[in-house]
Amino acid sequence: MRTSFGRLAASIGLGASLVIGTLALPGAAQAEGKIRIAEQFGIVYLLLNVVRDQQLIEKHGKAQGLDIQVDWAQLSGGSAINDALLSGSVDIAGAGVGPLLTVWDRTYGRQNVKAVASLGNFPYYLVSSNPAVKTIADFSEKDRIAVPAVGVSVQSRFLQYAAAKQWGDEHYNRLDKYTLAVPHPDAAAALLAGGTELNAHFSNPPFQDQELANKNVHVVLDSYQLLGPNSPTLLFATEKFRKDNPKTYKAFVEALAEAADFAQRDKAAAADTYIRVTKAKIDREALIKLIDNPQYEFTITPKNTYPLAEFLYRVGAIKHKPASWKDYFFQDERPLQGS
């Protein structure tokens, strides 16, 4: 397993600084047997932690008679992830369904970027330390909301979806002016420390849970209440990579499926993997309790992604209307079903 392509942050605990791997310069297409993967921060990327820790891509490559070199990088925000994918710096991109739909629309009929798999189902919370903010209607010029990427990240898209429900589709981006692009670890640290303009954060586990452990922080918006259980984070690739590297691509999908089975079956072992790979400063028992939440599901099958796609087309954020989730997912043996 190679790590020269990019290194994970030394810690994704509170106060950790963003570490971005040195991305390879765009060049010739990757040969079969090489794969470069970009991930972000949080428990939602646990399946990739398992894949990396157990060297599952290499394992499934060997089953096909192929030695696969795997390189890893960590970025923050869907915009950075999409840019890395389109520049040819990465082969597999990990980001929210919002960034996926943006890049799918942008590359429609050209690079044809599509999703490969889900990373699971998790509720995302918008939290605030401002006691006056009970709902999204209470945000004002006094508030600033941290998101991974303004206007593009899945958190930004959830916020826009909520704004459209509150004020109508024509005002879907009404709250964008209050958002700031900040990596989750840094945003969580700033929110808890106080003393800055940032007093709200739309993130994912475990950052939202660490923030809610503070009595001054409360939930303003729950993505599950907004849309129902859904798959907020996906993995995606270009059509060319999938076509030119069928064995490598298959090994990646099979590795991911095995990781999902492992994480869903053994939460304690999954927690140990997360701590070992990310070096997160988080209590083991608290982490096990967190990922054992019945609302969490580690699966590669996408769930309930289409309502957001339909919304983004309706408000003009994407130009191409997908007929179903199958339009922006590669149709492989796995996953067989989705929504």
pLDDT tens by residue, 293-328? 999 999 999 999 999 999 999 999 999 999 999 999
Mean of the per-residue pLDDT values of the chain: 90
**Does pLDDT of 12 surpass 90?**
no
- Both 109 and 248 in one domain: the answer is yes
Is the four-CA dihedral 203, 215, 11, 144 of positive or negative sign?
A: positive
Q: How many CB atoms lie within 10 A of CB 249?
A: 21
Could you give the CA distance from residue 202 to residue 133 in angstroms, rounded to a whole number? Answer: 14
Side by side, the strands of the sheet bearing 233-237 are 69-74, 34-39, 92-96, 233-237, 114-118
With a cut of 70, say whether residue 4 has pLDDT above it: no
- Listed ranges 31-40, 77-86, 242-251; the one with the highest mean pLDDT: 242-251
Examine residue 300 and state whether it is found in any structural domain, yes or no. yes
Domain boundary among 227, 247, 278: 227
C-alpha to C-alpha distance for 269 and 324, rounded to whole angstroms:
36
CB contact burial 15-43 (16+ within 10 A = b; e otherwise):
ebebbbbebbeeeeebeeebbbbbbbbbb
**Full residue range of the structural domain in which residue 108 is found:** 34-121+231-328
Asked whether the predicted pLDDT for residue 27 surpasses 50, the reply is no
Q: Is the pLDDT of residue 118 over 60?
A: yes
**pTM of this structure:** 0.87
Once rounded to an integer, what is the mean pLDDT over residues 104-120? 97
Q: Does the pLDDT at position 24 exceed 90?
A: no
What number is the average pLDDT over the span 243-250?
A: 97
pLDDT for res 31: 67
Beta bridge partners of 222: 125
Q: What is the count of structural domains for the chain?
A: 2
State residue 262's pLDDT score. Answer: 98
**Same-domain status, 38 and 171:** no
Query: Which residue reads 């206007």 in tokens?
Result: 151
Q: What angle do CA 69, 98, 186 make, to 5 degrees?
A: 75
